[in-house]
Amino acid sequence: MKHTLAPKSRQRVFTWGRLQGKQSIMKKLILVLAAAFAVSAVLAGLSDGEALERAREILSKMTLEEKCRLLYGSGTMTLSCPPGAGEKREWIMSDNSSTVRPEMNRWDWGYTDPKSVNTKLPSLSALAQTWDVELAWRHGETLGLEMRDRGVDQLLGPGVNIMRTPLNGRNWEYLGEDPLLAARMCVPIIKGVQSCDVAATVKHFCLNNQEMARDTVDTHVDSRTFNEIYLPAFRAAVVEAKALCVMTSYNKVDGIWASENKYNQRGILRDRWGFQGMILTDWGGQHSCDFAINNGGGVEMHWGQGIVHLGNPKKSLHPLADAVRAGKVPVANVDEAALRTLFVMAKTGYLTGGKRRTGERNTPRHQRLAREEGADSIVLLKNVKGLLPLDPATLRKVLIIGKNADEKQCHKGCSGEGNVPYEITLRAALAARLPKAEVVLMPFCAKMEIATTDTSNAAIAGGHVEQKTKVDFCSVEELKSAAESADAVIVFTGTELGYQENMESESRDRENFDLPAELQEAMHTILGWKLPGTVVVSRSGTPVGYTWTDKADTLVQSSYLGMEEGNAIVDVLFGQVNPSGRLAQSWPRTYGDTAVAQKGTYNKTNVVYNERFYVGYRWFDRNKVAPLFPFGYGLSYTTFAFGKCSVRETDGGWMLEVPVTNTGKCAGREVVQVYAAYPGAKVERCVKELKGFAKTKQLAPGETQIVKIAIGERDLAYWDDFASRFATDAGDYEFLVGASSVDIRERLAVKVARTKHYRD
């Protein structure tokens, strides 16, 4: 089979800096300037100083009860309209980081009828695998536009919690295991959202790295690990992206609820990072009245009837105002928290009545982005015999094994739920792309009974629970006969969204790392037939335990891709898109290989991060354990060569230049990754750490691009416990340039002349 991309006429058009072929530099410049002008036109709102002045003006005219009403929900997803607000309506919030969730009822978790409909983009776990900051901005802007069309003022996302354990049920809603990757990807998401005059909310602050017992668990971590691994994405969101809102997590941190933790809320957010925006609890995350507000707390949120600590909107009770009158809460603390809420309202134009950006929803442009982003996130893990891309012209019969290939996911996942105008499954996409072929869907040859699962946490979290009691199956003989008569066999495995066993969702963790034993056995059986046209597609938002990957010649990894999932996968399988996704997490061979399993703790009461900063690839490097697939890994239908790299000093850092040449036969994109090593370290350091990355443009065969990556001296810093600051020591360092955390192509030596400490 000839392994080339589809003819140019059948390829998708790439925009926003990915314009292909023979377009002139001038045309590209005009497009970029036009886009920048369009954004700047809607960002002509209030400066921080002007917004604070307007907020203080409104605050000065409010009664105590009116101020307090700004600090608790007026319903499940609303805040009270302050007197004098330009919009003259309640402030409206919406959950999700990949769509706008349907509107909630005021007093419960139910959806209004009819349910509102929005485009659903790929999950953040998928977006992270694109390693494309430009795509992240478009993701955020699209969410912002869809919210503006719905009249929504605040997005409850993005989530940036680090993947500490692959069992975390919300890994699919986050940005992977590495703090720098999460930070670099969340900043453009937030900027994109807020360019539409919508407030973004970075969450969940902090140390919420498991869903199991999240409402009660107490987490403990040393300060260096806290600052180097679990805070950088939050810092980037607040300091660089200027996120307007921060949501606290459910758990305790060193015995104190996150929503009442003065050190984190006031010490880190306000004092260290200068955060001026709104702090709000996760829904049901408030545990007190006066203690919370006196320790840096902000807005209490819950389902409408559950809001009771600071106020009760249904019964018109005012516990916070009563606490002020009783002398338990200084009025200055209420004023400060209310001022922060008004500041956010002013920045978005809600408070002032200023012209806000016009929204749009379910447009062809948004649907194209869902498909493009999904395809760009897919990671080609194995293609040993070059089976991919498939040639559609040779396919008369295609067998799909696995009923999940036709199981819609967009309406699942609790906070990840959406309601879409349509959803294209893998089966539907293949049938549409192959109108003259026979596309057959069959279940696995694995009889499974799914036990009833406790879903009480899901109900508390606002999930709309769906449960399965069994899985359809067929006989081995029947399945083998169908497979032998097919031109291609596509095996669709992995996880799905939901609340049972190994499903992924908010409010619970997966019960096991491994795929269920019955499905593992079925995979061994199917791959044991050694049929030449067999392609395995794995879908999950987190690593899954597979015991059969050595038998698979072809393996494609996808995360949850939203409403265009099927089309995105088929675009890659048929070569209309050359896969350029790279793993945002290390893929362990066994759960026992992970740092949490060997060194840390994972339980329902007290969780100690004993593995310290050895998370993900840092752990595998330190212990010389080979993962199944390493962080940053991914293949292509073409090949790339790195030329001689160079590094030069700049003001406060270095600029690396890496020539990347497409040495294959079809167009494609590569991700250049730069890690730092510390040969002269005076303190304990990891073997290497990601410090920069860049994705090439679409390179034609034979084309070379000089990729430039800037790294500052502060990027090399560690947290100095004695100084309680970040420090970069004088001495020798190395930059490791590669295509993954294990595929290092060149090492460049640099020197830092003198030790520096940084305020933050």
Kindly state whether residues 73 and 29 are assigned to the same domain: no
Whether 442 maps to a domain, the answer reads yes
User: Is residue 562 in a domain?
Assistant: yes
- Assess whether 649 and 578 both reside in one domain: no
Chain centre distance of CA 247: 16
Final residue before a domain boundary, out of 552, 569, 585: 585
Strand bridging mode 256-257 / 252-253: antiparallel
Beta strands in 450-597 (DSSP E): 470-471, 488-494, 534-539, 554-558
Judgement on whether residues 133 and 93 belong to the same structural domain of the protein:
yes
209 and 270: one domain?
A: yes
In angstroms, what CA-CA distances link 386 with 6, 241, 359, 532, 535?
Answer: 16, 42, 44, 11, 11
Predicted TM-score (pTM) above 0.75: yes
Confirm if 396 and 438 have CB atoms less than 8 A apart.
yes
Say whether both 334 and 461 belong to one domain. no
Same domain, 388 and 339: no
- Domain contains 605: no
User: Do 55 and 7 share a structural domain?
Assistant: no
282 is catalytic: yes
Looking at residue 127, its pLDDT comes to 98
pLDDT of residue 7: 33
Side chain identity, residue 323: A
Task: Give, in order, the Cα–Cα distances in Å from 541 to each of 504, 590, 663.
Answer: 8, 17, 32
Q: How many distinct structural domains can be found in the chain?
A: 4
Do residues 564 and 509 share a domain? yes
Determine the pLDDT at residue 461.
84
30 shares a domain with 63: no
**C-alpha–C-alpha distance, residues 543 and 557, integer Å:** 10
Catalytic hit among 132, 178, 282, 729: 282
d(CA 754, CA 401): 60
Residues with Cβ within 8 Å of 438's Cβ and at least 6 positions away in sequence, in order, are 396, 397, 398
- % of the chain surpassing 90 pLDDT: 89
**What's the per-residue H, E or C state across 654-702?**
EEEEEEEEECCCCCECCEEEEEEECCCCCCCCCCCEEEEEEECCCECCC
462 and 321 co-located in one domain: no
Domain coverage including residue 542: 379-585
For every residue of 243-280, DSSP letters joined together read: -SEEEEPSSEETTEEGGG-HIIIIIIIIIIT---SEEE
Reported as a single tens digit per residue, the pLDDT across 210-251 is 999 999 999 999 999 999 999 999 999 999 999 999 999 999
Per-residue pLDDT tens for 106-137?
999 999 999 999 999 999 999 999 999 999 99
pLDDT, residue 470, reads 76
Structure confidence at residue 36 (pLDDT)? 42
- pLDDT the model gives residue 471: 81
pLDDT of residue 483: 98
